[in-house]
Amino acid sequence: MEIRDITAATLAHHGYRVLVAGDGTEAVALRPANDEISVVVTDLSMPNLDGAALANVVLHLNPAVKILMISGLSSGTRNSQMQRFGGAFLSKPFRRDPLA
């Protein structure tokens, strides 16, 4: 089972309605039909459109959406992204409880 699947299952278990995308481009394509999206959970490292670029697109379309970045990258990268996207960052590996 991939991290994406475990993350989706954890959030669904805690009552969240979850939409899953394989990459940033697919995630952007989900949005027009789902204007109710209030939180986007994204990995910084994704093919086609990385997490930071996805966050930029999402926030341009709806600045009220919350962004949760997930990454196993270095603390320097983590700190710069926390400042850029409001401090919501979860380092990999992570446990299910902090995600919920």
pLDDT at 33: 63
Q: How many CB atoms lie within 10 A of CB 15?
A: 7
Higher-scoring residue by pLDDT: 33, 44: 44
The reported pTM is 0.80
Strand partners, 91: 71
Q: Give the SS3 label for residue 31.
A: helix
Q: How many CB atoms lie within 10 A of CB 44?
A: 20
Higher-scoring residue by pLDDT: 13, 92: 13
- Is domain 3-95 classified as CATH 3.40.50.10710? no
CA 63, chain centre distance (Å): 15
Quick check: 77 pLDDT over 80?
Answer: no
Query: Quick one: which of 37, 39, 8 has its CA closest to 22?
Result: 8
The residue extents of the domains of the chain are: 3-95
pLDDT digit string (tens) for 8-30? 999 999 998 999 998 889 988 88
pLDDT digit string (tens) for 36-72? 788 888 888 888 888 888 888 888 888 888 888 888 7
The two three-digit tokens of residue 12, written as one number: 């669904």
Query: Is residue 66 within 8 Å of 38, Cβ to Cβ?
Result: yes
CA distance 13 to 95: 14
Quick check: 2 pLDDT over 70?
Answer: yes
pLDDT at 79: 62
